[in-house]
């Protein structure tokens, strides 16, 4: 049984437990936005799901799902004791083990001992993915013993990586000397080159054997050191790893400034890189930190969440976004979901608006993909991908879940019916412009995105001649357990936002004398559609609160069985079965997966009074499974609004700690969906800042409304609004903005 | 192993096989439109699914499905040998058994022997449900032996009937003497009284013991005769049974004209009733027969199909219709489906238009139920029940199939999405008026039905502002394996027919000086909606043939996997699993349950040329599972149209023999759906008359186009068109109409 320990800035796990291999891979992930490296030990292999995930690099094998490429592992080190006895965590010789993550600086470390024939062999190591130099990872690996023993240390590049739907790489070429190994290869689908370098320097005088390219059946390109260990002496290895791909943005711009060693000792090189790395992190925290006083656990959890956002922020690119599972692996196909716009972008919007801008540029870049998707389904404009990869074509299949009872793929309607994604993109554009005051993004293509998103909803909406209004039919809202519903309150309100935003920004641009609207209409042939746009903006139906204040989530929701959450859960015949889809236990009940109406009330808070918010919170929360990591934070936020921070607090903690505890849904049907949860990480920030501090930006002005939970004495954070950096401090009774 | 034997007018089954108990119950059903009595032996009980189904009488137990009431069995007779040995078909003493149905006159008979201690005991019996007197059934039961033996003959009213979702009866009262037993009881839900009488006369001098009302735990109200049998002597019992219910139409009007015996001997009473019964049948056949020459099997099968239609024709009522499984049991909830309008009515329309008129009156009577259903789903007008019982409220649940893998009810969209039912009703009205020339049905309420059906589709249809047309979304067409589709070709075309028919008949009525349209519009508030009706009739989208002549069944059908029928079948993991629904094997493929586009091409044959018909036939037939008994006849019919009667012939045979062979789907998921197949029976007639003879009525004129299959030399049948009775004879090369 392992023991988890949380320090001010550390997560530490002592002991070895099989189940923690996967969990710690996520929990102790390091990364720098360009790559993510899972928190596994150096000797870990494919079975441990060791992985180096390269952002923006995808591949498809056969007719399986496209997914991120897992690069050959440049930090592989194995220690072999006499008698060809590999020293691993599963070895019966294991004496002790602990590993930790410093999440202030993204430094992973371990301390492991084995007892070999009476001799204690200890490995200590430390690694980081440079925040200063995106292609660079460094590892310092030290062996110590308390007796004489001959060990073999094998280090190199392990190409036998684990893929969910692989293999993805071929045309391997191996080069280099024992001290400097290099593997080049290509992705199978598109032939994108990938280069992995692993250079090593030892503190001790021991030349490795010349490496031989892996033989058939082998997959590790390795150099071996023979260590005749003496007690009390440290044998240290420094590995410099460099990963780069043909898909990298601005290739060269972010090329490493320093070579592997350039005459430096391993130790010096490591410390030099670490110093630069830490300085970069200090700059990140200067604007990115939130300091909560009076609640150590909350402070730690929120900072840990922010850490997870920062290690996947695509600073190295100008138009990349963040996948739903970050860079923690291949789950969710490494795809970008609405998570980014709705749950992740708010944090960056005020702490580092340039990162938020990258998310929008990514949607501009993938506009053609969204156009293709709209056309595929017979619509006009831009229907953004539910699961978006590098081209914006939808990586989501029509069969996204495997039925546990038959093993058959199950038809789900994420791809073709979750149309709110196009509105979410427009919402993010609006939020960006409102918060930053930076209208240049509209010129960069965002205005055209707005036009095409509006056009999409115009072709998706229907006019009811008997009800004399436009309605939006056959959609799936955020609550994915109810597919193909009509007049989903959230979706309809969001579509209206798209129409309103386009009209408002077109007007605003024209008033500024910009020819952008005219040019865009001409280019896209939209001019004739303006009257319809105005009519729809006037006459689109948005469900409103009923007599009891509750907004019906969609047409007919109240006709569903009102079974309790516990009752619905008790109907499960298999813990892994999917709650939604054609025959799921929630499908025909009012039990919902996640905040849906409640999300809408958060986004459009000014349009609803407190009584409505309270009524919907009270109605929907007991019916919410919180089966999505996007759910709890929205309940937390709304319950702050309704003045009940105490009720809200557990939702905040649940959201902020999701990647510490690892207690999230690991399966949808038979599909593994584990990994980190950037949207929850962002949601934790939303909950703390927008919720407990009542932070908002309206009309370019900062608004605050303190409602700190019990124990919290002060919250401090930074917000950049309209180009100005503000230092905000919120206490129980007041706030300051400097 | 039993042996089936078909005579010119008989179906005979020799031997006993467990599986045939259920099959022969359907196969040898007798009935007279008022009641149906299953083809089981006298000693059969609940476990054999013995049943007396009373038309128009339904009950609901708890929250289970409403279903027809199975009346106490008034024809129960049991024979007990010495040593309390019951003589049943399952007895080890059984020596021989055969049972038969004379389907010219609807007389069921048996001949069964047992060997008891060296003595052969033979039971011969015969029964019929009087075609002359609807409440009456008669049974003649004779015991003979070849040695001396003491037998106990118990006869009475067995109240322990089997229900699918029962019990349905309570408040039992027992009265009478040994010779004349009577049970009265009430349905549980609505308290409708039900009276069952069973009077007996014996040819031999033996007074029965006085009957005692059943004790607690017993369910048979019985009188016992002790027979000291002598060899060569016949001991005959005549049972007169009478069933009547509080729900009977025109109570009294159809009351038996003669009492049970009125001083007549049992034998005389039986022969007298049989003679009247046969005379009534002769009258039925005079107009109802189709004589095929040159193909004995086809002639028999078609007549057998007609028999099954005639025994359920509701002649005793002025406004009753025919359930989808006739009066053969409680499956399909005894409900009336579109089967009546589309597959059964055509036969009666020209052989006995008064029966066809009853079907329409039934829809007029249930208009308010259809209005309630429309309102329930937020629509206007009349949304007829998918499964209609006496009130027109929908007996269909949202969960109509049980998932074989989880045992859970499965959400199906028969009830709420199979909107074509309202168009089918309008279609039947149009067909009736066109064929009979009888416009009085419009005054009786059919015009109002047309208004309300049109209004329903007007509120169901949507206008696409970008495609500038009305579309019909989210429906289930005849092919139930594909639920919730848009622009189903059949449904859209049928909706257009509703609009056109209403406009045309309103016009026709006004030209005749009728104030009916104006009055109906005033009464229903429809006047303001006329402009919309006209606009929709002009601009409703109906899918048309593509370049290859094929009409896409619905939007997106071509995007489904084009797996072969064999391939789809091979994916079944359980023979009983449902092919459609959320996770069915056909759901996401192009495999369809039954004729859908092909049905439309039959109904609107004048609008499509031969090449289109051929193309669709060739395209859809290989993709059709024929999982419905409504399917084969439509393929048969269209292939006659395209000039390939040879191709068509097997479909005709399959349709006409479905209730002889019993080879039809017996399960949908875990729900038993067996019984007779009136729609297929009607389809067989359609196939023979409209298909092979090319019979049609257009503008009140009979059209014929002989295309007889190989072997057929002549087909003769009767058709009443516009009040005139025509005798039609079709040969290979020509036809005569007298």
**Residue position matching structure tokens 């149309």:** A419
Q: How many residues does chain B have?
A: 738
Q: How many domains does chain A have?
A: 2
| Domain-located, residue B299 | yes
- Nearest by CB to residue A582, choosing from B463, B555, B583, is B583
- Do B327 and B211 have their domain in common? no
Are A391 and A370 in contact by the 8 Å Cβ rule? The answer is no
CA gap A482, A693 in Å, rounded = 33
pLDDT for A158 beyond 70: yes
d(CA B481, CA A208): 67
The pairing of strands A667-668 and B667-668 is: unpaired
Place of tokens 């386009």: A502
The gap between the terminal CA atoms of chain B, to the nearest Å, is 48
Is the pLDDT reported for residue B600 higher than 80?
Answer: yes
Residues of A known to be catalytic: 480
pLDDT of residue B1: 37
Confidence of residue B205 (pLDDT cuts 50, 70, 90): confident
Among B392, B371, B694, B312, CA closest to B524:
B371
Are A367 and A406 part of one and the same domain?
yes
Average the pLDDT over each of A349-353, A450-454, B155-159, B624-628 and give the range with the smallest value: B624-628
CB-based contact (8 Å) between A252 and chain B?
Answer: no
Which residue in B408, B532, B582 is closest to A465 by CB distance? B532
Q: What is the CA radius of gyration of chain A?
A: 26
Q: Do B102 and B222 reside in the same domain of the chain?
A: yes
Q: Express each pLDDT in B75-100 by its tens digit.
A: 999 999 999 999 999 999 999 999 99
Please name the residue that has the structure tokens 């060296």. Answer: B118
Is residue A478 within 8 Å of residue A420, measured between CB atoms?
A: yes
* Residue-level pLDDT at B77: 97
Express each pLDDT in A61-78 by its tens digit.
998 999 999 999 999 999
Residue B646: what pLDDT? Answer: 78
Residue B588 and residue A399: Cβ atoms within 8 Å? yes
- Mutation for A interface: B465, B483, B486, B552, most A CBs within 10 A: B465
The predicted pLDDT at position B177 comes to 82
Which residues in B lie closer than 8 A to residue A474 (C-beta atoms)? Answer: 473-474, 486
Q: Are A68 and A52 in contact (CB under 8 A)?
A: no
| A376-395 residue pLDDT tens | 999 999 999 999 999 999 99
Contacts with B398 from chain A: Cβ below 8 Å: 588
Is A63 among the domain residues?
yes
Check whether A1 has a pLDDT greater than 50.
Answer: no
* Statement to judge: residues B225 and B352 lie in one domain: no
Q: Rounded distance, CA B471 to CA B493, Å? A: 11
- Which of A525, A583, A588 to mutate: most B Cβ within 10 Å? A583
**C-alpha count within 13 angstroms, C-beta hemisphere, residue A392:** 25
Whether residue A271 is found in the same domain as residue A368: no
Q: What DSSP character marks residue A540? A: B
Strands (E), A438-534: 461-464, 469-472
- CA distances in angstroms from B106 to B38, B245, B257, B276, listed in the order given: 12, 23, 21, 13
Looking at the complex, does the CB of residue A572 fall below 8 Å from at least one CB of chain B? no
Question: Cβ distance A376 to A384 under 8 Å?
Answer: no
CA-to-CA distance for A326 and B346, rounded, in angstroms? 64
Chain A, chain B: beta-carbon pairs less than 8 Å apart: 85
Picking from B408, B465, B588, the nearest residue to A532 by CB comes out as B465
SS3 state of residue B727: strand
**Looking at residue B209, what is its pLDDT?**
72
The domain that holds A194 is classified in CATH as: 2.70.98.40
One-character DSSP codes across A80-93: EETTTEE--TTSTT
In a domain? residue A231 = yes
Higher-pLDDT residue of A498, B258: A498
Average pLDDT in the A614-640 region?
91
Residues A281, A300: one domain? no
DSSP SS3 for A273: helix
- Given this model, what pLDDT does residue B663 score? 74
DSSP label of B624: B
DSSP-derived secondary structure letter, B106:
T
Give the E-state strand segments of B501-612 in sequence order. Answer: none
- Identify the H or E element spanning A440: helix A440-441
Query: Considering B43, B67, B480, B625, which one is annotated as catalytic?
Result: B480
Interval B341-397: pLDDT, tens: 999 999 999 999 999 999 999 999 999 999 999 999 999 999 999 999 999 999 999
Indicate the residue among A235, A261, A286 that finishes a domain: A286
- Confirm if B376 and B398 have CB atoms less than 8 A apart: no
Phi and psi torsions of B542, nearest 5°:
-125, 120
- Over residues A210-224, the pLDDT tens digits come to 777 777 656 788 899
E strands within B590-723?
Answer: 667-668, 671-672, 696-698, 701-703, 714-721
- H or E segment to which residue B7 belongs: none
Using 50, 70 and 90 to split pLDDT, how confident is the model at A410?
A: very high
DSSP for residue A529: G
pLDDT at A610 over 60: yes
Residue B68 exposed, middle or buried by CB count within 10 Å (0-12, 13-18, 19+)? buried
- The overall average pLDDT reported for chain A is 94
What is the DSSP track for B144-207?
EESS-EEEEEEEEEE-----SS---EEEEEEEEETTEEEEEEEETTT--EEEEEEEEEESSS-P
> Per-residue pLDDT averaged across A262-266, rounded?
88
Distance CA(A735)–CA(B18), nearest Å, equals 85
Q: Are residues B192 and B315 in the same domain?
A: no
**Are B583 and A411 inside 8 Å of each other by CB?**
yes
Please check whether residue A5 lies inside any domain of the structure: no
Q: How far apart are CA A635 and CA A654, in angstroms?
A: 11
Q: Kindly state whether B405 is in contact with chain A, defined as any CB-CB distance less than 8 angstroms.
A: yes
- Whether A641 and A712 share a structural domain: yes
**A398 to B588: CB separation less than 8 angstroms, yes or no:** yes
Is B308 strand, coil or helix?
helix
**To which H or E segment does residue B226 belong?**
strand B220-229
Read off the CATH number of the domain in which A343 is found: 1.50.10.10
Residue B479 backbone zone (phi > 0: left; psi -120 to 50: alpha; other: beta): beta
State residue A277 phi and psi, 5-degree precision.
-60, -45
Judge if B336 and B466 occupy the same domain.
yes
Nearest CA in chain A to B475: A474
Q: What is the largest CA-CA distance in chain B?
A: 90
The DSSP secondary-structure symbol of A210 reads: P
Residues A257, A371 share a domain: no
Please list the alpha-helical segments (H only) found in B418-527.
Answer: 420-436, 440-441, 447-460, 489-511, 516-524
Positive or negative: CA dihedral A328, A331, A333, A338: negative
In the numeric block, which tokens belong to residue B43? 């000693």
User: Do residues B158 and B45 touch, judged by C-beta distance below 8 A?
Assistant: yes
Read off the pLDDT band of B257 (50, 70, 90): low
- CB of B525 within 8 Å of a chain A CB? The answer is no
In the three-class reduction of DSSP (H, G, I as helix; E, B as strand; rest coil), residue A422 is classed as helix
Render pLDDT for B267-293 as a digit per residue (tens, 0 to 9): 999 999 999 999 999 999 999 999 999
Contact A106, A9 (CB under 8 A): no
- Give the minimum alpha-carbon distance from B669 to chain A in angstroms, rounded to a whole number: 13
Residue B256 is predicted with a pLDDT of 66
pLDDT of residue B252: 52
Higher pLDDT pick, B551 / B257:
B551
State how far the Cα of B139 lies from the Cα of B148, in Å rounded to an integer. Answer: 25
In sequence order, the 6+-apart residues with CB closer than 8 A to the CB of A282 are none
For residues A682-704, average pLDDT: 95
Residue where a domain terminates, one of B218, B243, B262: B262
The conformation of residue A336, written as its DSSP 8-state character, comes to: B
- In the numeric block, the tokens 């950037």 are attached to A678
Q: Is A699 at the interface with chain B, CB within 8 A?
A: no
Tell me, yes or no, if B558 comes closer than 8 A to chain A by beta carbon. no
B217 class by beta-carbon count within 10 Å (0-12 exposed, 13-18 middle, 19+ buried): exposed
Q: Which residue of A has its CA nearest to B410?
A: A583
The confidence score (pLDDT) of residue A206 equals 73
Task: Look at residue B442 and tell me if it is in a domain.
Answer: yes
CA distance A439 to A432: 9
Q: Are A123 and A139 contacting, i.e. CB atoms less than 8 angstroms apart?
A: no
Per-residue pLDDT of B703-730, as tens digits, reads 999 999 999 999 999 999 999 999 999 9
Closest residue to A462, CB basis, from B380, B410, B462 = B462
Please check whether residue A399 touches B, CB under 8 A.
yes
B164 touches chain A (CB under 8 A): no
Question: Does some domain include residue A28?
Answer: no
Residue with tokens 């009584």: A611
Structural tokens at position A500: 């309103």
Average pLDDT, chain B: 94
At B491 the pLDDT is: 98
pLDDT of residue A646: 78
Q: Does A525 touch chain B (CB under 8 A)?
A: no
Question: Which residues on A lie below 8 Å from B380 (Cβ)?
Answer: 466
Whether pLDDT at A126 is above 80? yes
Specify the pTM.
Answer: 0.90
pLDDT bin (cut points 50, 70, 90) of residue A250 is low
Quote the domain boundaries for residue A545.
Answer: 289-737
Residue B283 belongs to some domain of the structure:
no
Q: What are phi and psi of A157, to 5 degrees?
A: -115, 115
Say how many CA atoms lie within 13 Å of A167 toward its Cβ.
Answer: 13
Check: CB of residue A176 under 8 Å from CB of residue A227.
no
User: Residue A239's beta-bridge partner residues?
Assistant: A139, A200
Helices (H), A172-263: none
Does B233 map to a domain? yes
Residue A253 confidence (pLDDT) above 60: no
B406 with A587: Cβ contact below 8 A:
no
Report d(CA B127, CA B31) in Å as an integer.
11
ipTM, interface predicted TM-score of the complex: 0.86
> Are residue B216 and residue B360 in the same domain, yes or no?
no
Distances (CA, A) of A289 to A312, A348, A650, B550: 16, 11, 21, 63
Contact status, residue A138 vs residue A238, Cβ threshold 8 Å: yes
Q: Cβ separation of A466 and B484 shorter than 8 Å?
A: no
Does residue B665 share a domain with residue B610? yes
Q: What is the pLDDT of residue B218?
A: 65
Last residue of a domain, one of A230, A254, A286: A286
Which residue reads 């008997």 in tokens?
A466
Cα–Cα distance measured from residue B399 to residue B578, given in angstroms and rounded to the nearest whole number? 13
**Quick one: pLDDT band at residue B213, thresholds 50, 70, 90?**
confident
H runs (alpha helix) in A256-295: 266-288
């Amino acid at each position: 049984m392992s023991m988890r320990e949380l320090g001010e800035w550390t997560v530490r796990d002592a002991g070895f437990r099989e189940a923690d291999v996967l969990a710690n891979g996520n929990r102790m992930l390091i990364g720098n936005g360009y790559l993510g490296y899972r928190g596994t030990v150096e000797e870990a292999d494919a079975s441990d799901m060791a992985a180096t995930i390269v952002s923006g690099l995808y591949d498809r094998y056969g007719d399986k799902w496209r997914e991120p490429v897992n690069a050959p592992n440049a930090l592989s080190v194995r220690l072999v004791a006499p008698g060809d006895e590999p020293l691993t965590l599963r070895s019966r010789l294991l004496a002790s083990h602990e590993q930790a993550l410093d999440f202030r600086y993204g430094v992973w470390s371990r301390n492991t001992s084995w007892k070999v024939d009476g001799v204690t062999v200890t490995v200590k190591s430390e690694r980081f993915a440079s925040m200063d130099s995106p292609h660079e990872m460094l590892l310092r690996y030290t062996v110590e013993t308390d007796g004489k023993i001959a060990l073999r240390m094998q280090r190199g590049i392990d190409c036998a990586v684990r893929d969910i739907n692989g293999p993805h790489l071929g045309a391997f070429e191996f080069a280099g000397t024992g001290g400097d190994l290099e593997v080049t290869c290509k992705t199978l689908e598109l032939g994108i080159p990938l280069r992995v370098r692993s250079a090593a320097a030892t503190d001790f005088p021991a030349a490795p054997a010349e490496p031989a390219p892996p033989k058939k059946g082998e997959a590790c390109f390795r150099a071996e050191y023979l260590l005749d260990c003496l007690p009390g002496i440290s044998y240290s290895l420094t590995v410099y790893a460099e990963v780069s791909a043909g898909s990298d943005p601005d290739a060269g711009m972010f090329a490493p400034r320093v070579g592997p060693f350039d005459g430096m000792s391993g130790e010096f090189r490591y410390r030099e890189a670490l110093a630069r790395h830490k300085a970069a992190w200090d700059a990140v925290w200067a604007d990115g930190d939130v300091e909560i006083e009076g609640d150590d656990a909350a402070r730690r959890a929120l900072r840990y969440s922010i850490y997870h956002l920062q290690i996947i922020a695509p600073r190295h690119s100008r138009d990349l976004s963040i996948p739903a599972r970050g860079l923690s692996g291949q789950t969710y196909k490494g795809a970008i979901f609405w998570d980014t716009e709705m749950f992740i972008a708010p944090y960056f919007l005020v702490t580092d608006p340039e990162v938020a801008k990258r998310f929008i540029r990514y949607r501009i870049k993938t506009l053609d993909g969204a156009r293709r998707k709209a056309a595929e389904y017979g619509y006009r404009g831009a229907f953004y991908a539910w699961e978006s990869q590098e081209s914006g074509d939808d990586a989501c299949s029509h069969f996204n879940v495997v039925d546990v009872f038959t093993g058959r793929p199950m038809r789900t309607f994420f791809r073709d019916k979750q149309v709110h994604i196009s509105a979410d993109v427009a919402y993010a554009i609006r939020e960006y412009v409102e918060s930053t005051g930076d209208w240049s993004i509209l010129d960069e293509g965002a205005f055209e995105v707005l036009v095409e998103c509006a056009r999409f909803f115009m072709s998706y909406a229907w006019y009811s001649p008997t009800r004399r209004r436009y309605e939006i039919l056959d959609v799936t809202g955020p609550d994915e357990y109810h597919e193909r519903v009509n007049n989903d309150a959230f979706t309809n309100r969001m579509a209206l936002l798209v129409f309103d935003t386009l009209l408002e920004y077109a007007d605003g641009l024209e008033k500024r004398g910009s020819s952008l609207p005219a040019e865009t209409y001409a280019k896209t042939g939209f001019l004739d559609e303006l009257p319809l746009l105005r009519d729809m903006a006037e006459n689109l139906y948005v469900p409103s609160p009923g007599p009891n204040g509750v907004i019906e989530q969609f047409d007919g929701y109240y006709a569903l069985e009102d079974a309790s959450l516990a009752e619905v859960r008790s109907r499960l015949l298999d813990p892994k079965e999917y709650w939604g889809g054609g025959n799921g236990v929630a499908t025909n009940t009012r039990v919902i997966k996640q905040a849906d109406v409640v999300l809408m009330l958060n986004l459009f808070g000014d349009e609803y009074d407190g009584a409505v918010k309270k009524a919907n919170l009270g109605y929907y929360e007991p019916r919410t499974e919180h089966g999505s990591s996007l759910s709890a934070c929205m309940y937390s936020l709304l319950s702050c609004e309704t003045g009940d921070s105490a009720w809200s607090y557990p939702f905040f903690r649940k959201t902020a700690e999701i990647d510490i505890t690892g207690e999230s849904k690991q399966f949808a049907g038979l599909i593994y969906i584990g990994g980190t949860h950037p949207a929850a990480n962002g949601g934790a920030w939303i909950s703390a800042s927008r919720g407990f501090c009542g932070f908002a930006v309206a009309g370019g002005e900062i608004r605050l409304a303190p409602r700190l939970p019990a124990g919290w004495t002060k919250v401090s954070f930074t917000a950049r609004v309209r180009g100005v950096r503000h230092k905000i401090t919120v206490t129980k009774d007041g706030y300051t903005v400097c």
